[in-house]
Amino acid sequence: MKWPKQLELFPLEERLISLRIPFMQIRELPKGQQFSVKGSVANVPTEIQPVVDALPRPLDENVVVAVKLKKKMSFSSCAFTDNIRPFNVLVASHWLMKHSELYKNSNVQIDEKWVHRVTQECKDTLHEFLEPQIKDKITEREHLKTEEILDEALNDSDSEETSRSNVGNIDTLLDYSDIENRTKTFTFAPGEDQEPLSIYQDVDSEYLCFPTFFGGQRRKDNADRLIQVNYSDIEKWELRSIDRRAANSVPNIFLIEKKFR
């Protein structure tokens, strides 16, 4: 089965929609350029609702914003910082809420109409901005339909009048309302005030920690298999599989190593 494109996320993007975060101290060993975990793994439940509500909703999937992930908002240091694509994060959260029973039971509220609403707002802004140009076109070419005129006006963005409105590397004045989000750093602490759970008692911890690998789905239970399979055999197969997502995720490897002990 082809893996859904909606779940192709970077590490911090995955953390923002994970219902569990495996906090661990991963350090590089003095020799051999290998890594090791110091101490235990803190399997922390998260609240992703504030993240989903706070992220901007751009239509352009290439828009990025800076995000800091903290254990507590009061801490000066952050556990993870990177640029993320809010569009991809929101699309992935929508996909998980639609296809994963684990996410459906998480009581996370997703606005299913945000794409339609944002699209309509952009259309309204474009109509307001291009209204003078549209009126001139209607006068000159009355036989053209309004929609065709709007398309032609959009394609005239390199005209002299529009060029005089540009400032710096901003393409059009319509980008102005999004400048604040592009320069703003979003800080989240989705696991704040949450009690860590044992990785042995929280049976769904792996699936909730790494939604881009499991897709929010549980493994098949041994009761549903023709041949009983040990957990160690399953993990060895996943790490050796041609699908390198499990092997390339350092937190996943050390979480497995901790469960083996």
Q: Are 89 and 13 found together in one domain?
A: yes
Q: Are 83 and 26 found together in one domain?
A: yes
Q: Are 164 and 239 found together in one domain?
A: no
In percent, the amount of the chain with pLDDT more than 90 equals 23
Reference 195, options 19, 43, 23; nearest CA is 43
- DSSP, residue by residue, 61-103: TT--EEEEE-SSTT-SS-SEEEEE-HHHHHHHHHHHHHH-HHH
Q: Which long-range contacts (CB under 8 A, 24 or more apart) does 154-157 make?
A: 154/126, 154/130
The CA distance from 208 to 214, in Å, is: 8
Backbone phi and psi for residue 202, each to the nearest 5 degrees, phi listed first:
-85, 90
Q: Are 92 and 152 found together in one domain?
A: no
Residue range 161-193, pLDDT digits in tens:
444 444 444 444 444 445 555 668 899 999 988
Q: Are 145 and 207 found together in one domain?
A: no
Q: Are 44 and 142 found together in one domain?
A: no
Mean pLDDT across the chain:
79
Number of Cβ within 10 Å of residue 164's Cβ equals 7
Q: Are 122 and 222 found together in one domain?
A: no
Q: Are 18 and 81 found together in one domain?
A: yes
Q: Are 133 and 26 found together in one domain?
A: no
The pTM for the full model equals 0.72
Last residue of a domain, one of 177, 210, 230: 177
Q: Please tell me which residue, 126 or 33, carries the higher pLDDT value.
A: 33
- Write out 96-145 in H/E/C secondary structure: HHHHCHHHHCCCCCCCCCHHHHHHHHHHHHHHHHHHHHHHHHHHHCCCCC
Last residue of a domain, one of 139, 161, 177: 177
Given a cut of 70, whether residue 121 has pLDDT beyond it is: no
Q: Output the CA torsion sign for 248, 249, 250, 255.
A: negative
Q: Are 122 and 243 found together in one domain?
A: no
- Which residue shows structure tokens 């990785």? 199
In the chain, how many domains are there? 2
**Host domain of residue 89:** 5-110+181-260
Last residue of a domain, one of 150, 177, 204: 177
Q: Is 36 helix (H, G, I), strand (E, B) or coil?
A: strand
Q: How confident is the model at residue 136 (pLDDT cuts 50, 70, 90)?
A: low
The CA distance from 47 to 153, in Å, is: 44
Q: Are 100 and 228 found together in one domain?
A: yes
Q: Are 130 and 202 found together in one domain?
A: no
Q: Is 224 helix (H, G, I), strand (E, B) or coil?
A: helix
